[in-house]
Every structure is written in C-alpha cells, then in structure tokens.
Structure 1
Amino acid sequence: MLKKIILPILLGSSIASASEVVFYSTQANPLKEADAMRNDVLIDYDGNVKFLPQEAGPFFSRIQAESRTNSVTLGVLGALHGQFPQIQNALDPVDDVLAQLPKVSANTAITKLGKLGTDHQKYIPWMQATYIMAANKKALPYLPKGANINALTYDQLAQWAINLTKATGSPKLGFPAGEKGLMHRFIQGYLYPSFTHSVVTDFRGKDAQEMWAYFRSLWKNVNPRSTAYNLMQEPLLTGEVWVAFDHTARLKGAFDQKPNDFVAFPAPAGKYGRGFMPVIAGLAIPKNTPDRAASVSLIKYLSRPDIQVKTLKATGFYPVVDVALPEDLPANVRIAGKAIALQANAPDALPSILPVGLGNLSGQFNKVYQDTFQQIILRNADIDKVLNRQAKRLRTLINRAKAPCWAPDKASDGPCPIN
C-alpha cells in the first residue's frame, strides 16, 4: 500500500522538474536581490523557472560535476564575464540565440566579449556595471569650443580642465586616487586601452610613454586633494571638484542628493578608441541541457527591454540593450544609465575587461599600476625607467599566474606577453 502512495508522488515530482528551467547564477545572490529576481523579474515568464543563486565555488563544482557525468540538470547559467572561462568547455554555443536578439547584438563591443576569444558566442550579455564621468552643470560652459560632452576626447578633457582652472582659480577635475579609491581601474580600463589598445602587452611601449606624458601634463589641472579622495561623490557634492571619474556606485550619492546639479557622460576617447571597463554578466546554456528550447526562451525573455529594466531595479546592474529608463527610477539610476548606454554603444567603444586568471595575485597586479601612477605622476620620476622596472614586476606576476591575455590585448597561448 505504501508503494502505491509513494510512486505517483515521485512520478509527479519528476515530471515537474523536467519541465522546469533551472536558472543557476552567481549573480543576484543576496537574499533581497534573489527575492526580487523571483517575484519581480521572473514572475511574468511564460514557463516554469527555478532561480538558484549560488556562491562561485559551489557554482563551478556543480557545473563541472554535471558535465563530467553527462547528467545535466541546469538550463541557464548566469555569471560574470571573468567566471565563464573556467567552465568554457561545458558551454553550448549560442550563436543562434544571439541572432534572435537584435537589440543585444547591436551592442557589438560587449557582445564580442561573449565569444571568450573563440569563433563562437559562448554567452549572451545580460547586464552591466561600469565606471563613468560626472560633472557639475556649472562646468559645462567651460567645455572647449565644439566639444560634445557625450563624445569627448582626452585632449578636450585636458583643455576643459585648463579652462576650469583659469575660470575658478583652482583645479576642478578630480580622480579617486586615495588609498581606497579606484584609480587603478581608470589606468587599466580607460587610459591604457584608449592610448595603447592594450593593458599588459604594450605596458611600456612608445604609446604608453606618450600616455603617461599626457597624464602628467593633465595632472597639473587636477585637484591636488585627489590623492585623498576614495569616493568622488563627496568632493562633487562639496564643490571642490566639478568634473570627476568613478564607479557608478561611488557617484550615486551626488546624483541622488542633487539630481538637478549633475550630469553623467562617457569616458573620453584616445588614439585607439573610447576605452572603458564594463563589469559584464552573461547568460549561457550548458551542453546537454534537458530542454534547450526552454533555455533559449528564458534568455530571450531576460533580454527584453522591459525585463532588463526590472533586472536593473532588482540588482543595480544596468541594461545591455538601448532602453528608455522610466521616470520612477532613482535619480542616480536615470542619470548614470544614459551615460552607460552611450559609452557601451559608442562607435569607438573599446571595452577593457576586469583582469582574468590572476587569482590571489590580483591585488599585486593592481599595485603595479598604482605604483606606476605614484612614481610617474606624483613623484615626477623618469617615465621610461619606471615603465621598464614595473614591466619586470608585471611579467613575473603574469608568469606566476600563467594568465593568458584578456581584452583588449590579443589572445595568447600561455602567459600574456609584455613587449
């Protein structure tokens, strides 16, 4: 009698799980975000989906275990760009999915990252965060003649800084160069790509020397208190700084407290393009997933503009598609969102992704760029000598980690070379 009762229950459970898409993700892991994903983002999906956010360790372990045993239960995988290489061989190509998402594929710079250096699309861009520029509207009259704030060059930024210093009597351009600031991200993701089309390989070349000479000249019109700034929202609010660079989360306070006083805009462009550092999360499908059509359907749903806005509200990550943001969003989201979209979709966009493959050496890698900045810019040391010395440190770290190149450097077999 007991068997007759249990059997239909087990069969029913099996049927329910087979029709479910298991959405396994390292993102939206905090309880509040996970609840928002289930109750706000996924609630209108026309199908059954189980959202299972997970820490990175268990996330990788389950995917690799299922791949090895060929008993895949997962339907869609959500992760950061830098996490996908670790499970790259377990991913099903999604070129066919991208072809069905014209709004996503229009963002060519970010979509290309989803190939992971291969000939096939390995993940579909899902959402993004990044670093942008912000300005007090009082600074706008001093823009160089003919300059478009949404398409600035580094030369125009330098002239703008000069104009502001002359007009106000003190430098009004600022950077987060304090002990806990993110100055190294500006150097890695913005200066180096824009001026050298590289982060590692051409660390010390002629283009890099010219870049550091430019930045040394620019620094003459940077607020000297920048070396104490950790978050640029504070000096923007006090008026010490009128133009600044920082992560969107570290500009949030200024935009929210005085939304009518500030504008956000893309980073400037240099010789090789508009270098910027996106923090990209993507959606992938594991090989041998139980119901690939259902997985594709969920990815298409999550890529819809209206669902991208709901995802923004749930996670704080911005859309990867061009979308009009509603007025009921917080001021910081509306102000930063436009700049993020313009930056990512610029015709000269040149994304530089967060370092990949460095493991616990990431801090030492960042310190190379911080030390280079301090020695060249703050101590006025010889540019060529500093770059040669720091290049040796960089090579040692890259070789120890056996880290291959990442965008915008060209893919490498083995550790990323340094010219």
Structure 2
Amino acid sequence: MPRITVSRRAVLRTAGLGAAALAAGCTGFATTGGGGMVFLSTQFRPVDEAQRFRDLLARTISGVSYVTIEEGPFAGQVRSQVDAGATRIGLLGGLHGDLAPLADGYLEDVTDVLARLGDHRWPADYLELARAGSDRTWYVPWATASYILAAHQDALENLPSGVDPAALSYDDLLDWAVAARRAEGRPVLGLPAGPKGLLHRFTQGYLLPSFTGGQITTFRSAEAVTAWEYLRELWANCVPSSTTYDFMQEPMESGEVRLAWDHVVRLVSAPRQRPDSWRMLPSPRGPRGLGYMAVLAGMAIPKGSTDPELARRTIEALSLPRTQVELLRSNSFFPAVAADLPDDLSPAIAMEAQAVRRQQDAEDAILSLPPVGLGEREGEVSKVFQDTFRSIVLDGAPIRSTLDGQARVLQGILDELRVPCWAPDPPAGRCEVS
C-alpha cells in the first residue's frame, strides 16, 4: 500500500524511579506498576490502548515503564521537575502541542538521534514542526492520526443519487443524513458530543476551517455564523443520544448509529468486527476547502533525563518502520516514518489509511493542528468551543451574540498566555480572535 505522508503544501500553507513511585509524587498520572525508566506520555490513555502499547513496548525494548498523564498537567510536571533539578522522567511522549512549548529550556536536542536514523525517514514538514521555529530538533515524530467518517452499508443505500461518498461536501453530508432519517424512520448519523467526546475537534479542525479558512482568527466571522447555522441543521438529523457518546464505536457496534464521525482510534472497532459492512470515508469539504486535523505525536527527552541513552535507544526502536506498523495494528495510529503498509493489515485499518490519505492529498486540503502552547489551559479553549456548541446548537441561542461573547472569553485566555496562533491560522505575532 502507499506510504502515508502529509503534503508540504498543506502544512506550510496553514502553518530512575518506577512508575508507582513517580505517580505517588505527581497528580494526574496513570501508573503501570513495575520499575524501569519512566516514559511519560499524554497518548494512549484509555486502559485498553495503554495496555496494548505497553505490550508492544515490552516486545521492543526492556527497562522502560510507560506512564500516562492528561495533557493539562503534562507541561507543568516537566517544568517543575526540570526547574528543581530533580527530573524523574526518562522520556516524553505527546502531541506537537504538548512538546513544542517545552523546547525552550526543558528538552534535549535530539538532532543526533535523527542523524543516526537518517532524517530522510520523516516528511520534511514533520521535521519542521519538530524544530519549533529553531535550528535544532526537540522531538522525534512518532505517530500520526486524524478524524474521518464511517458509514455502514445500510446508510450507503440511502446516499443521494450522484453523490460520491469519498468526495462529500458538507451539503452532501446533510442531504445524506436527511435521506437516511426519512428512509429509516429515525436518525442514523451520530457525533461524539458526550462529556468525553471529541466534537470540539470537529468544530476546531473541520467545520470552521472548511467554512472560514481559519479556527481562531475567523471565530466570529460571517462565514462562522454560516458554519454554525449548518451545524444546527445537521444536528437536527443526528441521533438524539449523541449527547452521551464519548466513543462512536459503541453506538456503531450496537446498530444505533450507521453514519459517524470521530477519531480513527474511536471508529475502528465496529469495522474491524464486520469489515464488509462498513466503509471509511474522508471528512467533507466546505466553501473554503477540506479542513482536517492532523494529530502528530512525538518523543522527546527532558533535560536531566534519568537515562538519556536508554531514552535515545527507545526512540530509535520505536522509530523503526516495522515497529510503527505494529503500533498501527494495535492502536490505529499511523506511521510518522516512511513505511510501506503491508498487505495483511486488517481491512478496517486499510480502509482508514485510504480515507486519511484522501484527506491529506486533497487539492483543497486545509490542515489544522490541535491547540499549541496552552498547557493546562487547553481545556479552557476547548470549553469555549464546547460551550458555543451547547448554546447555539443544543439551546438555540442567537448565533451572532453567542460568538461575540465566546470570542471575548477566548481572546482573554490567549492574551494571558501570549501565544501565537496555530494552523490553519497564521502562527506569527499575537493571536487575535476576529
């Protein structure tokens, strides 16, 4: 199968203590038990995902204990330990937005690791992100993921005539949801709007960029008003229980949902069980293009690492193409290195790979990143999008006044943090909500 990469055009256009002992002194950690160098990560936090990765890690290298932590306290834990000169962590794993803010004084330069491995293995755009605006490399790209649609064969039978499911517009998606609801006598489209669902990523990285070309700088634009009008209409054709869905795979497996949007990891279970019944599709495009969010995870070495050489060996081992393919098999995160995907991948993973690739390679692709540099306050920014959805879509509040009010909240957070915007908004200067 073809290699999975992100096009340069899209990115540049938009822009030792054991785990139990460590956890005893740090809130927010999920522990593994056992000893070894601590690999602290914001990724694979659900119990089943974490265990599958620990099994892979144990098969790959010895002496490493995988510990998970939420994104909010992650940066604070690293900064406090490094500032105190008492680092108890050997290796870090996180998204670009978790690691890039630590580049200034809290991470080791890992350019030597890339030199040993050969930096040709990674797309140039990933390496550019890993430099965080400097001439050094602060993390090694580890894995990637995204968000796509999943459609059951029953839903595909209700696709409006002439519509290509692999090249949907947002209008097509709405027409499809309406047609399916009428044919089935009930809604079949589900969105992850539960307490732990990722619907805010849909508005941040998909809906708003597709309608407005931005996420923050266009938050209260006339095009944003249109986007929220659209989402209100789409929601009227969603399964009402969507407000309880954290992971779309569960209602997909039960048959309550036949058409869903979510993170690839949270979609794959039902298609894995019945691959002939499901099809994985790229997200829709809007007036400005096909907005999509690339989730890039990396591995970094903190200043004062408890075992910097073991950390480097672990990075090297996890960067091998065969190891990254195993991560794809186990946890549905795609290789960050140039890796040919084998023909014996499960059909569900292969379908996801094709859908992700279609998003990346679209001529009108608009790449978005999850928020960068917000640390513990990332949740406050996500809450702005969640509250906006709740007010406009669930409660029927006026769109213009709601956006104006939430824009003030959002600007206040960004002013306090003094961080630049992130893709697809321009990264230079002050991040202004407009």
Distance 2:53 2:196 in 1: 29
TM-score, L = length of structure 2: 0.71
Contact 2:53-2:327 within 8 A present in 1 as well:
no
Which structure has more relative contact order (CA 8 Å, sep 6+)? It is 2
Aligned to 2:377: 361
Contact 1:325-1:334 within 8 A present in 2 as well:
no
Aligned to 1:208: 224
Distance 1:344 1:311 in 2: 20
Distance 2:323 2:381 in 1: 37
Residue 397 of structure 1 deviates from its aligned partner by 2.1
- Letter paired with 1:105: P
Deviations 1:281-333 (A, max 9, x none): 1246899x9xx9x999986775453232123346553223463245365x654
Distance 1:111 1:380, change over 3 A: farther
Taking only the aligned residue pairs, the percentage that are identical comes to 38
Distance 1:299 1:238 in 2: 39
Aligned to 2:185: 169
Distance 1:23 1:376, change over 3 A: closer
Q: Indicate which of 412, 415, 421 corresponds to 1:396.
A: 412
TM-score, L = length of structure 1: 0.73
Aligned to 2:102: 87
Distance 2:219 2:366 in 1: 17
SS of structure 2 residue aligned to 1:82: helix
Aligned to 1:219: 235
SS of structure 2 residue aligned to 1:114: helix
Contact 2:110-2:140 within 8 A present in 1 as well:
no
Name stretches of at least 5 consecutive residues in structure 1 with no aligned partner. Answer: 1-21, 44-49, 67-73
Aligned to 2:71: none
SS of structure 2 residue aligned to 1:221: coil
Distance 1:88 1:368, change over 3 A: same
Distance 1:391 1:221, change over 3 A: same
**Aligned-pair Cα RMSD in Å:** 4.1
Residue 264 of structure 1 deviates from its aligned partner by 1.8
> Aligned ranges for residues 34-183 of structure 1 at < 5 Å?
36-41=55-60, 56=74, 78-89=93-104, 90=107, 92=109, 94=111, 97=114, 100=118, 104-105=122-123, 108=125, 113-117=129-133, 122-183=138-199
Q: Indicate which of 237, 242, 250 corresponds to 1:234.
A: 250
Aligned to 1:327: 344
Q: Indicate which of 378, 397, 405 corresponds to 2:394.
A: 378
Residue 198 of structure 1 deviates from its aligned partner by 2.1
Distance 1:125 1:143, change over 3 A: farther
Deviations 1:140-176 (A, max 9, x none): 2333444443332222212222332333333322212
Name stretches of at least 5 consecutive residues in structure 2 with no aligned partner. Answer: 1-36, 69-73
Question: How many residue pairs are counted as aligned between the two chains?
Answer: 381
Structure of greater Rg: 1
Distance 1:205 1:309 in 2: 42
Aligned to 1:247: 263
Aligned to 1:262: 278
Residue 243 of structure 1 deviates from its aligned partner by 0.8
Distance 2:401 2:209 in 1: 21
Residue 366 of structure 1 deviates from its aligned partner by 2.0
Residue 408 of structure 1 deviates from its aligned partner by 1.9
Contact 1:269-1:275 within 8 A present in 2 as well:
yes
SS of structure 2 residue aligned to 1:409: coil
SS of structure 1 residue aligned to 2:275: coil
Distance 1:101 1:142 in 2: 47
Distance 1:324 1:181 in 2: 29
SS of structure 1 residue aligned to 2:157: helix
Residue 214 of structure 1 deviates from its aligned partner by 2.1
Contact 1:117-1:411 within 8 A present in 2 as well:
no
